[in-house]
Amino acid sequence: MGNFMNAEPLAELHKSEFETRIRQAIISAKYTVPQVGVLLFSFDEVVIGLNEDGDALTAFHNSVSMRLRSGLRDSDTVAILNSGQIGILLHSVLGPQDLELVINRLLLRLAEPVQIEDRIFPIISRIGAALSPEHGETVDALLDYARKDLQKAKTAQQPYAFDTAHPRSLITARQWMGELRQAIVKDQLFLTYQPKVSLRQHQITGVEVLVRWQHPEHGIIVPDQFIPLAERTGLIIPMTLWILQQSLLQCRLWNEIGLDIRVAVNLSMANLESQELPDQIAALLRDTMVSPDRLELEITETSIMADPQRVIRTLGQIRELGVTFSIDDFGTGYSSFAYLNKLPVSCIKIDKSFVQNMEKDRDNSVIVKSIIDLGHNLGLKVVAEGVESAESKSLLQVFLCDEGQGYHFCRPVTADNMTQFLLAPPETVTNRLSSLQQNWQPLDRSY
């Protein structure tokens, strides 16, 4: 239990912005297997006692929101709404059972009371939930359904109300979990690689590793559709070890034919919570005979904030091996500035939401330049994700950004395609990447 009166406030979303994000998520998920989930949390019992103290109410909302955020994946949205409510948008839910799994996980995060100055408040929450398209395919329909379930929970004085017996339910989380476990065993997962390009020397500096699932019925499934389930069920740990092993083996192959390439692999919150992770990485490096400085591990701000002190210890142990770290999706988290100079990281990656179309959005360009300046002042390398145009690349060069990554340079490609590209004659990187793109068969539209 902590005193959150002085905690850094969580960015509050207006109701209209929350609804806009729901609308965008519904459109994006229209042709995918997962559903979109909406949760409404109500804390009426606590809020009534805080209505006359605005600062305390803000501190309570901030505390609860941070706890909820620590139990979600990076792409999910937490919004502080009016009337003592907090809304959550889940971009990828594999059916009702998966949604219940998320709800129960979040309830565990709210089990401990909140202390505000010298007062202690037990967290009494009621939750309403809805899925799209199961309970509606518009923002209003989803929110109305969630509000009705919320009212049912209040009336029954239960933590949540949610109808899981709807005839339009898609494949259950249990079924997906079984299929995903088999995918790991049957080699249905495969890796793609997206290059990171120096904006000064116009050279490839490394590649980020991205996993895909070749499903026998649904075709290629991108990470946003199955990584969340892997994180919730614990499958992310063996999956990450497999990704690390395959990435290091590919890195060794590249190094053996004279290609000086580094590989970057993403770590989730669950990976960082594993005490065995440093020893497992050490064993993989030893078994694959890859130099530790050829491996970079990418972590997010959110995974850091879940348990900063523990993450710092874990990263420190891995850093002693010679592995480097970068903070991924920088700018979308909530309080990592306080820990940035304590983390053993050498690079920050600006989230693509700020980089895309920044040449047309002055606010985003200001944010991007500020992050670049901050990184350089701390002695860190800065990489911009989501570079999709020559204009964005030019602006990043003006801002003295170190590296870029995105569709303007190259989409994620297979190891064979990346090898052919890296072995091509040393023309300018732009011409070589353009040649690769022309001969490339599209896998998906995901980073």
Please choose, from the candidates 257, 187, 192, the residue with its C-alpha nearest in 3D space to the C-alpha of residue 417. Answer: 192
pLDDT of residue 173: 55
* Range list for CATH 3.20.20.450 in the chain: 174-345+410-438
Which class in CATH covers the domain with range 174-345+410-438?
alpha beta
* Range list for CATH 3.30.70.270 in the chain: 15-170
pLDDT of residue 209: 96
Evaluate whether 67 touches 110 at the Cβ level (below 8 Å). yes
The answer to whether the predicted template modeling score (pTM) of the entire model surpasses 0.85 is: no
In this prediction, the residues of the chain whose per-residue pLDDT falls under 70 are 1-14, 29-34, 45, 47-54, 82-84, 163-174, 306, 333-338, 425-447
At the topology level, CATH places domain 15-170 in Alpha-Beta Plaits (3.30.70)
Q: What are the pLDDT digits (tens) for 24-47?
A: 888 776 655 567 899 999 887 676
pLDDT of residue 276: 92
pLDDT of residue 32: 57
Q: What are the pLDDT digits (tens) for 364-385?
A: 899 999 999 999 999 999 999 9
Q: Per-residue b/e over 130-158, b at no fewer than 16 CB within 10 Å? A: bbbbbbbeebeebbebbeebbebbbeeee
Residue 411 token pair: 């989409």
pLDDT of residue 350: 93
